[in-house]
Structure 1
Amino acid sequence: MPRSIGEWKNMGFKRFSILIGLRTALIMLNLLAMTYLIYQPGYHAATVMATLILVLQCYSIVKFTTRTNAELVRFLDAAKHADYSQRFDLSALGAGFAELGAAFADILQKFQAGRQQQEEKLRHLKAVIEHVPVPLISIKQNGQLTIWNNAARRLFGKARIVRIEDLDQFGPEFVFNLTSMKAGERRLVTFQADNMTQQLSVSMTEVIVAQGQERLLSLQDIQNELDASQLQAWQDLVKVLTHEIMNSITPVASLAKTAVDLVSDTKQQVGDQPEIQSHLDDISSAVTTVARRSEGLMKFVGSYRKLTRLPPPVKTPITINELFSQVIEIARQEQAHCHFEFIIAVVPAALKVEADRAMLEQVLINLVKNAQQATQHVEHPQINLSAGLNRRGHVVIDISDNGFGIDDEMKAKIFIPFYTTKKKDLG
């Protein structure tokens, strides 16, 4: 049965005590013998011999204890500095010390095994934190900031973040919200980067570390969820409204057409009666207008109903340069009488995006049409199509022109679904 560390230590130090005791006893016996010989005449040679033996015995015990202390100090230094490469062969010190050396080696092996287990747990914990999809950061009391995982690094992009003040570049209220939060609190915070605004759900907790208190914050991006919820709300609203409007306007349109036919038949039956014919003409004109407007309203509502039945996107890799060229070709065919200067700038040139080609192409065509309309009265109309990667690795497509721009009053409305300033478009 293998012995424990305690058994090895007890055995080694017990033998160490026995050996020290034996050496001390021999020195005492030698002193007694030497004292006896000194007082006996004629034993000078024996006295000198006893003295030499005493000196050798003292040297042996000093060397024995010094060597043992040196090995003990070496063992403690190895344990202190986690130097597990040290070896302890104490068999040269005499019988019993091989077990003490084995005890030292066994203790270091136990320390090494415990250290390896701690490192494995730490590596596992770091791997788990790195792959958490929610950005995690911590702020110390001195303002020093630590980014803990890949999600946080993607959120801040290539910006150098070392202290809490470095977060000022992401919006004036961002730092204020992070620093004013209390433990256990959750807030909805606006985050601005690369001309994009995101809504982050931020929660904060406090942890106690060796350096003092530390604020741990999770920054969950909920912008996509908010956009999806808003779009779903608009679609649900449109579905309800179009359904109710269609149910109400359909019988009106049908009755208006029937009334037009009845008025026409009545006019033929009345014959030559100018006064009645005049009244019937007025009625016919009014009913015809109602019928025409009802039919137009039905078509208008039907066009909105199509927006609630868009098919799911089919994403494929799209080369941006190729997409821009096709959009420009379509725009030139539709506006052949106008001379627009198109400028394409894509960095890198082989930049691609994963998206639904038909939907993305339609969006770009609409934007280019808007740019063409905005530059109709410009002497040298110019439309720029650019694309690149922002600091967080997202593909950004930008369509701009040298027109007169958008009024400040309209800027707050342009992203409202179905908002438009044009009579025939749906927004």
Structure 2
Amino acid sequence: MDINKVIIIVLLLVAVVGYIRLYCHYRRNIKKVSFLFDAIDNGDFSFYFPTEKMNKEDNILHQSLNRIKLFLQHTREEQMEREKYYEQILNAVDTGIMVVDSHDNILQHNQAALRLLDTDVLTHMNQVKGKLKDEHLAKHETQAMLKDKHVRIIALSDVSNELSNQEVDSWIKLIRVLTHEIMNTITPVTSLSETLLKELGSQELPSADSASADFHSPNNFSVELLSAEQAKLKQGLETIHKTGTELLAFVNNYRRFTHVPQPHPALFYVEPFLKRMAMLCNHEVEIEVTPKDLLAYADESLISHVVTNLLKNAVEAFNGLQSEPTTKASIRLHAYTNEQEAVIIDVSNNAGLIPDDIASHIFIPFFTTKPEGSGIGLSLSRQIMRVSGGSLSLHQDKAQGITTFRIIIN
């Protein structure tokens, strides 16, 4: 055989073997890269490409793949931390957030959305269509793209406090106008009637002896008539003066609603405070404070006015019962904190529920169901809490027949 042909055949065999080895090596490397991305796609970062006892080329490849894995793992961890951070922010706000796709599936929501919609699970908009019509919920909707999908971002806000504040502001303006006009009208009338009474009192009426002595006098009849007219005039002026004075006192009572003192907050322990309030109440009061050393930051004197008024109303509720209660009459003070670390004081009693038609009006100034009530107690208490940056609301447990007035000190 020609030596040249042998050389060519040998070279071809070497080339084929080299090509096969290179191809196999290439396939192994491709599989390693494919394995890397498949594992990362599945969130598995537990693998590791060995770098010991490897040839130089494989060692460089494995080091590079390990670096890629560490880089992507670090990026994924940062992304997960950011997602947790944003989730914590969303759960910390009072605004409810829902992300809804084109099929009304709820893809994501925060804790505020669950609370505002009073539900434990949110998966589809059909669950909350009726609740979204609540007038106390403000809804704002925006459009966005999420992973090439069209979604709606719905923000929910509780505007009950804003509505309540607007209502209170309206009442304050109305009361200020009314009290101003009534004071301007009644004050001169009261002052004038007092002046006329003084002038009438300075005039001496004819005595009975002088009238008898002048019985046969031609002026006797006119003197008796004058005395009777003066007595009627005096009685009428006294009635006008008394009525005007009482009306001024009545108006001054309502002016307190519009002139709540500026709060001077300070820290105080809640448990001894509630014990003092209970001592002023002519009824046995159960007290529970969690924790025992609970502190509140507010104007203690103003808060005491609110608690005292609520306890007085609770006692009057028992006194107003037409029949003996089937269970032991109970008044309870329960103080604790909520998730926002606000101090809550619940004033509860089992004297019976307040009818819905009355409950919706109890915080309106002038409204009262008591024969001698002024209708200012609860409205003034809510105004005090409003000025103090807190709130006062009514909660009723219809199952157990318990009425609770909740004081929130922020």
* TM bin (shorter chain): 0.5 to 0.7
Q: Distance in 2 between matches of 1:218 and 1:423?
A: 47
Match of 1:423 among 372, 377, 392: 372
TM-score (structure 2 length as normaliser): 0.67
Partner in structure 1 of residue 30 of structure 2: 72
Q: Which runs of 5+ in 1 are unaligned?
A: 1-34, 40-46, 168-173, 179-187, 191-198, 333-339
Q: Are 1:36 and 2:2 an aligned pair?
A: yes
Q: Is the 8 A contact 1:246 1:298 kept in 2?
A: yes
Match of 2:17 among 53, 59, 65: 59
Q: Distance in 2 between matches of 1:177 and 1:411?
A: 21
Q: Are 1:356 and 2:322 an aligned pair?
A: no
Q: Distance in 1 between matches of 2:188 and 2:271?
A: 51
Q: Distance in 2 between matches of 1:166 and 1:74?
A: 48
CA RMSD, 1 decimal:
4.3
Q: Distance in 2 between matches of 1:249 and 1:204?
A: 54
Partner in structure 1 of residue 330 of structure 2: 383
Partner in structure 2 of residue 182 of structure 1: none
TM-score (structure 1 length as normaliser): 0.65
Percent identity between matched residues is 21
Q: Are 1:298 and 2:248 an aligned pair?
A: yes
Read off the aligned partner of 2:309 and give its amino acid letter: N
Higher helix share: 1
Q: Is the 8 A contact 2:194 2:241 kept in 1?
A: yes
Q: Distance in 1 between matches of 2:131 and 2:315?
A: 42
Q: Are 1:310 and 2:260 an aligned pair?
A: yes
Q: Is the 8 A contact 1:145 1:161 kept in 2?
A: no
Q: Which runs of 5+ in 2 are unaligned?
A: 212-222, 378-410
Q: CA deviation at 1:292?
A: 1.2
Q: Distance in 1 between matches of 2:72 and 2:203?
A: 105
Larger Rg: 1
Deviations 1:26-53 (A, max 9, x none): xxxxxxxxx63499xxxxxxx5x87666
Q: Distance in 1 between matches of 2:329 and 2:102?
A: 53
Deviations 1:394-413 (A, max 9, x none): 65543344435545543332
Partner in structure 1 of residue 130 of structure 2: 176
Q: Distance in 2 between matches of 1:411 and 1:175?
A: 27
- The correspondence of residues 359-370 of structure 1 with structure 2, limited to 5 A, is 359-370=302-313
Partner in structure 1 of residue 123 of structure 2: 163
Q: CA deviation at 1:107?
A: 12
Read off the aligned partner of 1:248 and give its amino acid letter: T
Q: Are 1:344 and 2:287 an aligned pair?
A: yes
Read off the aligned partner of 2:36 and give its amino acid letter: A
Q: CA deviation at 1:126?
A: 6.1
Read off the aligned partner of 2:245 and give its amino acid letter: E
Q: CA deviation at 1:124?
A: 4.8
Deviations 1:244-286 (A, max 9, x none): 2111111111111112123334454898511111011111111
Say which is worse superposed, 146-155 or 134-143, in terms of deviation: 146-155
Deviations 1:221-257 (A, max 9, x none): 2233222222222222222221121111111111111
Deviations 1:123-147 (A, max 9, x none): 5576456435333122345665355
- The correspondence of residues 170-209 of structure 1 with structure 2, limited to 5 A, is 175-176=129-130, 178=132, 189-190=134-135, 199-209=136-146
Instruction: Flag the 1:209–1:401 CA change in 2: closer, same or farther, 3 A.
Output: closer
Q: CA deviation at 1:385?
A: 1.0
Q: CA deviation at 1:307?
A: 2.4
Q: Is the 8 A contact 1:346 1:388 kept in 2?
A: yes
Q: CA deviation at 1:66?
A: 1.7
Q: Count matched residues.
A: 347
Match of 1:229 among 140, 150, 166: 166
Instruction: Flag the 1:225–1:387 CA change in 2: closer, same or farther, 3 A.
Output: same
Read off the aligned partner of 2:237 and give its amino acid letter: V
Instruction: Flag the 1:150–1:417 CA change in 2: closer, same or farther, 3 A.
Output: same
